[in-house]
Chains A and B, each alone.
Chain A
Amino acid sequence: MILNPSQKRGLVGAAILAAVLITIGLVVTYFGSRYQLRLVYSAYVNLLVVLAMQVFMGNARLTNLSHSAFMGIGAYVAAICVTPVTVKSISLPDAPWGLNAFSLDPVSSALLAIAITAVLALIVGLFVVRLTGSGVTIFSLAVLVIVHSVFLYRTDIFKGNQAFFGIPQVFSLTSIVILSVFVVFIVRLFRESRWGIQLRACADDEVGAAAMGVNIRRLRLIAWVLSAILLAVAGIAYAYFLGTISARPFYFNHVFLTLAMLILGGMRTVTGAVLGTLLISFGLECVRWLETGPVLLGIDLPEVLGLSGIALGTVIVLTMALRPGGIMGDQEIEDLVLKKQE
């Protein structure tokens, strides 16, 4: 395979990001406490989500808010498949279609989860690509609500807001670091691929791109489904580490959180997605600590619930007002290191 210059630069950039991610992973593995390990793990799950969002939102520049729903589908399918029959007979006694009478090994569960999410995303995507601009946003919002109400309503399969427990712990921090490195490369290469470039061209000038023979709907569908597949991967990683899942983490709060991450870093670049996730994950932990009302410099601060929400909202509003392109704008990390492309 012959790579063009921007793809080679893309590989360099992805390698730099991968090095950063691996370094953080190593530091935490050797020096972090159990609690910190969990925090970093969930930050990496969110990183996978934000990278997956970047595939569709960053290249097609359409706002999608249903990402948490697809992550939830991936997580639930994998969880239902992988949980041992003995546990499921207690947790899901009324499950239909013999869902509590079988279990698969983690790899085939994950593959099945990805396949089911991809098929659902394809069906939804056929509708999405017909819409434009704000229509996509509202439609994806409707998808989020539909999926969430199915999770809540079918308590016999998903247990609704109660915890779906007993998922064996398959992943460790090492596995998700490796996974995130893979995903960074996939996302970056997609951005620099033929499809990625054509999609970004559509976002800049839809009519112009169509006149040059770009099949906009097909490209958006490809990006949409790839994004959903990566979201399913994130959901699987979430379920395989935590051991319990419920419907709540796959709804609006998570949508806002990941959206803020993507926006802060800059949705147009992969570097922005990584940077935003790291900044907000770290910043939010500090805000959460303030929220509990700690003693700081001898002053006993009051407990302020809702501070993290205000901080997230402020980050979004300020980024949009001051730097709509996010911190990175159109620059990838290698643009800061390598010489400018001629």
Chain B
Amino acid sequence: MEYVAQQMMNALAFGAEYALIALGLAIVFSIMGLVNFAHGEVIAVGGYTMVAFAALALNNPFIVIGGAIAAAILMSLLLERVAFRPVRYADPTTGLLTAFGVSIILQNVFLLAVSPRPVAVTSLYFLDWPVQLLGVQVSSLQVFEAVTTVLVIVGLMLFLKRTTLGLAMRAASLDFEMVRMVGVRSNRVFAVAFMVSGLLAGLACIFIMARRGSVDPHLGFNPVLKAFVACVVGGFGSLPGAVLGGFLLGAIEVAMLVLLPQEYGGMKDAFVFGIIALVLVWRPDGILSPPTEKGDKI
């Protein structure tokens, strides 16, 4: 029983991490149709910021965490301004390939400027200690992760439903031209979308770094790959879909870890992606995809 509860907590924590990243991808996608492959590098920028702080002997956890999140937000805004603005109204493939290019450039810049090898970051170890929750031994990090994700979802919901800018963003995901016509500044909508995306990347970065304790140029790549899969399964561009997909992926991944025999451990990813493929056969556009009418827009 305790084992089951522990594994469920694991699944929840994994899922929370994927959901955080997937939300960051989905909010950008819903507004500008951009599949942002460079999201992983935004996460890595947060990680390298921590390295920089460690080098400056700044070990105050609030400064480290705040700095990493701020760096991720700034990076996200910078990418929007420099790389994604020229392809803002281009077709999705163009945006996707641009994001790919940006991702390769940044990975190699990290490699060139810092090191191709992992750099240790120890300033976040304090986040992780064992706690007893309802008689089950779990890691505090997992609790933080789950709680943060819930707070983020609630916060995002309030922002999108209760504020004017949130309303503009929801409208923009349906019909951007109309939003511009009624006088909302398009630059501001895009900037906010990328800011939220960067904030979520920064939060994800904290948890990834606290768990791994090191950063390398490919830090964000695998988590973002998984988050993409979560987005597709949930329905690309749908925010509830991203959350659902993230938690589903976390659950499948933990289930595979528990159920697969030891010698098949290396095949975990293959099985996870295989199951996801089957979900897509059932719902090709994802589970919570908004109903689309093809040929609606001229």
Listed in ascending order, the chain A residues whose CB lies under 8 Å from chain B are 61-63, 127, 130-135, 137-139, 141-143, 145-146, 149-150, 152-153, 205-208, 256, 259-260, 263, 304-310, 312-317, 320-322, 324
Contacts and interface: CB of A to CB of B under 8 A. Distances in A.
B104 A312 contact: yes
Which of B98, B109, B236 has the most chain A CB within a 10 Å cutoff? Answer: B98
Given A139-B280, A317-B98, A320-B87, A133 B92 contact: yes
A140 to B, nearest CB: 11
Contacts of A150: 267, 270
B125 interface: no
A166 B61 CA distance: 55
Contact of B105 (A149, A153, A314): A314
Given A127-B280, A256-B104, A304-B112, A316 B236 contact: no
A6 B267 CA distance: 48
Given A146-B273, A207-B295, A317-B105, 5 more contacts: A138-B229, A145-B269, A150-B270, A307-B108, A316-B104
Nearest to A304: B112
Contacts of A208: 295
Contacts of A139: 232, 277, 280
Interface string B97-115: 1101111111111011000
A310 B103 CA distance: 10
Which 5 interchain pairs have the tightest Cβ spacing?
A316-B101, A309-B108, A313-B105, A313-B104, A207-B295
A292 B14 CA distance: 41
26 contacts: A127-B280, A127-B281, A130-B284, A133-B92, A134-B35, A134-B96, A138-B35, A138-B231, A139-B232, A141-B225, A142-B229, A145-B225, A146-B274, A149-B269, A152-B266, A207-B294, A256-B100, A263-B97, A304-B112, A312-B104, A313-B100, A313-B108, A316-B104, A321-B86, A321-B98, A324-B91
A150 to B, nearest CB: 6
Interface of B: 29, 35, 83, 86-87, 90-98, 100-109, 111-112, 116, 225, 228-229, 231-232, 236, 266-267, 269-270, 273-274, 276-277, 280-281, 284-286, 294-295
Given A141-B228, A309-B107, A317 B270 contact: no
Contacts of A305: 111-112, 116
Contact of B97 (A141, A149, A304, A320): A320
A15 B194 CA distance: 48
Contacts of B229: 138, 141-142
A259 B270 contact: no
Given A138-B231, A153-B266, A324 B90 contact: yes
B101 A314 contact: yes
Contact of A142 (B94, B267, B277, B286): B277
A59 to B, nearest CB: 13
Contacts of A149: 266-267, 269-270
Nearest to A155: B266
Contact of A320 (B98, B104, B225): B98
A206 B293 CA distance: 12
Contact of B294 (A146, A206, A320): A206
B82 to A, nearest CB: 9
Contacts of A137: 35, 96
Contacts of A153: 266-267, 270
A309 B104 contact: yes
A281 to B, nearest CB: 17
A315 B97 CA distance: 11
A286 B90 CA distance: 32
A290 B83 CA distance: 26
A138 B112 CA distance: 28
Contacts of B111: 305-306, 309
B213 to A, nearest CB: 24
Contact of B103 (A127, A304, A313): A313
Contacts of B286: 135
Nearest to A130: B284
A155 B29 CA distance: 39
A131 B280 contact: yes
Contact of B236 (A135, A145, A304): A135
A145 B112 contact: no
B94 A138 contact: no
A320 B101 contact: yes
Given A149-B267, A305-B111, A305-B112, A135 B285 contact: yes
Nearest to A291: B112
Nearest to B107: A309
Nearest to B286: A135
A95 to B, nearest CB: 17
A316 B100 contact: yes
A324 B266 CA distance: 39
A321 B87 CA distance: 6
B3 to A, nearest CB: 26
B116 A317 contact: no
A175 to B, nearest CB: 33
